Structure 1
Amino acid sequence: MSLPASLTTILLLLASNVFMTFAWYGHLKFKAAPLALVILASWGIAFFEYLLQVPANRIGHSVYSAAQLKTIQEVITLTVFAGFSVLYLKESLGWNHLAGFALIACGAGLVFYRPG
């Protein structure tokens, strides 16, 4: 039994975003590490992000437009980042962060709106 392309896409994008978030922000807990080392480590992590993200977009384009794929990606990115920030970096999110993310999500909803 295979999952629908729409769900497969979202699950792959979710997994790829976990890798992406660690590649981009995980090194912030290791500020004493040399910059060249964290760049190489980030590239290594990003490789796995691409192994998931590219198939996600390829599969997803059968059911979503490119603009919709990008919008899904951004909403997932904010969701994963919010969790990462609180759970891994131990940084709190204020009401202004949450309100800003909510406004971005509202804007994302417009991309999927079909008038008529």
Structure 2
Amino acid sequence: MRPITVTIAEEIFELSLENNASAQAFSELLPLELEMVDVNGNEKFYLLADHLPSQERCSCLIKAGDLLLCQTNELTFFYDDSKTCFKYTYLGHVKDSQNFRKAMTGKIITVIFEEK
């Protein structure tokens, strides 16, 4: 899969997608500009209009920068590490988690996903 850029508040991050049907289906929706809402003080959330294939698994430890899918259309972008027993499908990960955390500040933020 092609590399994906994520732009937040004029900061650009590289998103490495997982090698699965869910990540492939997500990449086919690009480009996307989403208004993501803060949830639980550690993640941003967006309800997709499209339903993606789901391969949920128990996610005991989530890392800052993880892009996850809950059920088939709940896009969740974690900006802080989290322990949970919820099931998610892994879509990808942003490696620069320190700067990513800073960029994710705010109750509602605009996140742009594009292929490089």
TM class by shorter chain equals under 0.3
CA radius of gyration, larger in: 1
Q: TM-score, normalised on structure 1?
A: 0.24
